[in-house]
Amino acid sequence: MGIVIDHEKCVLCLNCVANCPFGALSVENGRVEVNANCKLCKLCLNNCPVEAISLEENRYEELNKDDYRGIIVYVEHDDGLIHPVTYELIGKARELAAIMNYPVYAVMIGYRIRQKAEELLAYGVDRVLVYDHRELEYFRVDNYTNAFEEAINYLKPSSVLVGATTVGRSLAPSVATRFRTGLTADTTVLEMREDSDLIQIRPAFGGNIMAQIKTTNNRPQFATVRYKVMNSLGKVENPQGVMEVRTLTAEQLASRIRIISYDRLPPVNDIADAEIIVVAGSGVRDEKGLQMVRELAQALGGTVGYTRPMVEKGIGDNHHQIGLSGRSVKPRLIITCGVSGAIQFTTGMNKSDLIIAINSDRNAPIFRIAHVAVVGDLYEILPELLRLVQEGR
């Protein structure tokens, strides 16, 4: 899309030049020309008395969406140990695929992974593609991209789902670029239209709005999804899927990345797996309040979570931060203490089974999603709540 000037019509009145707020129009060699500053605000169209300026839209060849069927899930794993986000994505893929009567595929890339890959069939996957090569033992984005590209070319899926993990956030954009198609990162809601367009919803502009994104004339459609955002549907009674081992060429397996050494980091206590969480927000003003939050979490057998402002103050670490810039959680119980409820935070925890919110402001946004709202001073409420828990009540 761009601004086009009909120089035969143009009378060089220069109204467009004078009224352009971005300096995108200038006179070059006796003609009005458009430069890279143009923001397509269209003010010049309204300021041309002879209608010499028009807006030309890019023309694309119409895509035949019927040529693309199915949904691929990328199988995240560590030495064959499958990341639980994979099962959540398979569950969501099955829901979306049912609308279009599509098959669900899984793609697993690595070395000595065939036995683990076969286990995925129990979760309702119609076909599991396996790329099992010594050169794929460790994740390297270039040859993994080659393998994933081969799978997509072979299956021609309509949509591709990848976990928003460290690996997924590196791999998904690399593969999407190969197909010159769109990618929506950190999607929180996925919906399938009857024309196979995948509606991808995610927070934008710091969480101030929810953007609805769709790729109308490109396939496949790519989305990365965080762990603990979707639900796993579990195993099926009579799995009917098949596993297929694919072979890559030496050129596809080649990598420009050389692994010099490989060390495992010690396991981190990730709040994403917690079943009970007590969250400290900005309403927790001092060490006394933090201690009450910690004691309540300990009494409940849970863990402490923090909002982004608390982590930025150095009070909590990012492994226990909840929200768009932290972790997504889906515990059985979450108690928020002094948390206002900005969408940046709530997007990361609104799927929790039971949400209890404590806040002195009865109009706090957190109460819109809370199952139980407690209005009052947390410094008075937490000691009483802790006493009831300790008494087993």
The dihedrals phi and psi of 253, each to the nearest 5 degrees, come to -80, -15
Neighbour tally for 65: CB within 10 Å:
15
Q: Are residues 171 and 47 in the same domain?
A: no
Q: Which domain holds residue 280?
A: 271-390
Does residue 332 fall inside a structural domain? yes
38 vs 57: CA distance, rounded Å: 15
Contact 302, 294 (CB under 8 A): no
Query: pLDDT truncated to tens, each residue of the chain (393 aa)?
Result: 688 999 999 999 999 999 899 999 999 999 999 998 888 888 898 889 999 999 887 666 788 999 999 999 999 999 889 999 999 999 999 999 999 999 999 999 999 999 999 999 999 999 999 999 999 999 999 999 999 999 999 999 999 999 999 999 999 999 999 999 989 999 999 999 999 999 999 988 766 778 899 998 899 999 999 999 999 988 999 999 999 999 999 999 999 999 999 888 887 778 998 999 999 999 999 999 999 999 999 999 999 999 999 999 999 888 899 998 889 999 999 999 999 999 889 989 999 999 999 999 999 999 999 999 999 999 999 999 999 998 876
What is the per-residue pLDDT across 42-65, written as a single tens digit (0 to 9) for each?
Answer: 889 888 999 999 988 766 678 899
Statement to judge: residues 318 and 186 lie in one domain: no
The angle, 0 to 180 degrees and rounded to 10, between the axes of the packed helices 287-300 and 378-390 is 30
Asked, for residue 266, whether it belongs to a domain, the answer is: no
pTM: 0.81
Examine residue 258 and state whether it is found in any structural domain, yes or no.
no
**Does residue 282 sit in the same domain as residue 246?**
no
3-class DSSP assignment, residue 280: strand
In a domain, 207, yes or no: yes
**83 and 220 inside one domain:** yes
HSE toward the beta carbon, residue 301, CA cutoff 13 A: 4
Looking at this protein, which amino acid is placed at residue 318?
Answer: N
Domain boundary among 30, 56, 82: 56
Between CA 79 and CA 132 the distance in angstroms is 12
* 225 and 101 in a common domain: yes
Considering the domain architecture, whether residues 30 and 159 belong to the same structural domain is answered as: no
Inside any domain, residue 260: no
Strand, coil or helix: 235: coil
Please enumerate, as own/partner, the contacts of 12-18 that have beta carbons within 8 Å and a separation of 24 or more: 13/49, 13/50, 15/47, 15/48, 15/49, 16/44, 16/47, 16/48, 16/53, 18/47
Residues 46 and 92 both lie in one domain: no
pLDDT of residue 207: 67
State how far the alpha carbon of 107 is from the alpha carbons of 15, 72, 98, 130, 145, in Å. 58, 7, 19, 6, 12
User: Do the domain assignments include residue 245?
Assistant: yes
Q: What is the model's pLDDT at position 393?
A: 63
Residue 263 lies in a domain: no
How many domains does the structure of the chain reveal?
Answer: 3
Assess whether 220 and 239 both reside in one domain. Answer: yes
Q: Are residues 157 and 215 in the same domain?
A: yes
If asked whether residues 234 and 334 sit together in one domain, one would say no
Residues 15 and 105 in one domain: no
Which pLDDT value is given to residue 392?
79
- Which pLDDT tens digit goes with each residue over 261-274? 988 888 777 899 89
DSSP for 322-380 reads BSTTSB----SEEEEES----HHHHTTTTT-S-EEEEES-TT-GGGGT-SEEEES-HHH
Tell me the residue type at 227: Y
Verify that 220 and 361 share a domain, yes or no: no
In a domain, 314, yes or no: yes
Q: Give the CATH number, domain containing residue 7.
A: 3.30.70.20
> How would DSSP label each residue in 49-80?
TT--EEEE----PPP-GGG---EEEE--EETT
User: What is the pLDDT at residue 208?
Assistant: 72
